[in-house]
Chains A and B, each alone.
Chain A
Amino acid sequence: MNIVVCVKQVPDTWSERTLRAADSALDRDAADAIINELDEYAIEEGLQLAEAHGGEVTILSMGPQRASESIRKALSMGADKAIHLVDDALAGSDAIQTSAALAAVLQRAGFDLVILGSESTDARMGVLAAMLSERLGVPQLSFAGKVETDGKSISIHRQTDYGYDTVEASLPAIVSVVEKINEPRYPSFKGIMAAKKKPVETLSLADAGIDPSSVGLAAAGSEVVGFEKAPPRQAGTVVTDDGDGGAKAAGFLAERKFI
């Protein structure tokens, strides 16, 4: 099975994230960069499926030069090779354009199964799997908490508000995973050494056959009019329980008219 895992490099959620004043884009230099946490689960699922059914796992990442660190980490977990789409013209792309660019590369590379995280920690849109499915005309199996395949058809548990749905489709297909699905492995020392020699194909927009005017800030379908730091929360009252903490809390709720 030919499995492609889409991996995004994101600013670490623990470091402070800011927007650049000049263009309201994420200031990626200001924060530490890591693999989007959910994408590690996507990689793990890809590796497990390849181990069970044979085949190769390719990492696909669109992002600046610096994303190559995240790609190496994905390779050190055990993926076989990688494609890195990098081009200055991609800067400021939103989900719609990102999906167009990734779809073009996926079409060119070919796949039986594409696996994504269900959401990135920076954009938090959770729309990429749906958009790729729309663009590539293959089934959308998103928010998967469980994946089963026999190499021809695929079945998942799609997590919902009320529990889950069982969803079935035939391959090729797009899957996105939630963090309940598995426990991502840590790269072993051997894995880290091996990753250094694994092939990473670097593509520009021209290499991938993508029209530069279709991506980037200029082609975005929405524009940021302004942004501001949310006003800090007013410091609250903290009391220590001396046997009356519950009663005091009730007093607060009454004062605020919740009870």
Chain B
Amino acid sequence: MANRFDVPDLGVGLGLRTVHYGRILESRPEVDWFEILSENYMQTAGRPLHFVDAVAAQYPVAMHGVSMSIGSTDPLDRAYLEELRALRDRVHALWVSDHLCWTGVAGKNTHDLLPMPYTEEALRHVVDRVKEVQDFLGAPLALENPSTYVEFAGGAMREWEFLARLAEEADCALLLDVNNVFVSAYNHGFEPHEYLRAVPFERVVQLHVAGHTHHGTHIIDSHIGPVIDDVWRLAGEAWRRAGGVSVLLEWDAEIPSLEETHAEALRARLFLGEAA
């Protein structure tokens, strides 16, 4: 089953990180594609653009943002959206993603992915804003399920129900982060496979996998270290349900060499089947 947006399956990609710039540009390693962090190349006219232009000239690129704040009750930031669209056009990004979250309110930005209350009011609010963003971008927006550490009381539905209804009613794409499903499942005490069963996979255009830090009482989505096998197995299940979809490894702290990072990403082949 291909996704309904005809977004291509690019294979197994890596999050582009500054420590790897030199290696990538010197040796042009055989990585299927790169995901760039949108904000790293916004509000800059300098050095970061030099590198992202060079990478985008050689590899397929998708954009992943952390600051759209789609769930905030503050107005959408038009200047941010304009810059996001300009970057998308500059690097010819194949799709643009951000998170189902809010990052601040009343003008202050926490730069964190804060949890939504899963209420009907919140659903209406986010659906309207996703439609507005998609109209502005002229393309579907892919929203990612975040890792969460707390849930608001009085929710009318679980996260997976909220996500499925949002995707349907806003007609948007999804970026399914299976590590986030695993992390939130542990932190809130639900069954990750129940989450996956509710995901409308025809809307999933990308999977994320990452390492995390287990504290016993809770798990932090730290993006440190290799991906545990349980998360890879979830990725395999999601990949099969989607009928094949682009997979990306996020590694954001204590980042090893490009070769080691890529080798970890390619473990996908053990869990996703030979076609990955």
A and B: interacting chains: no
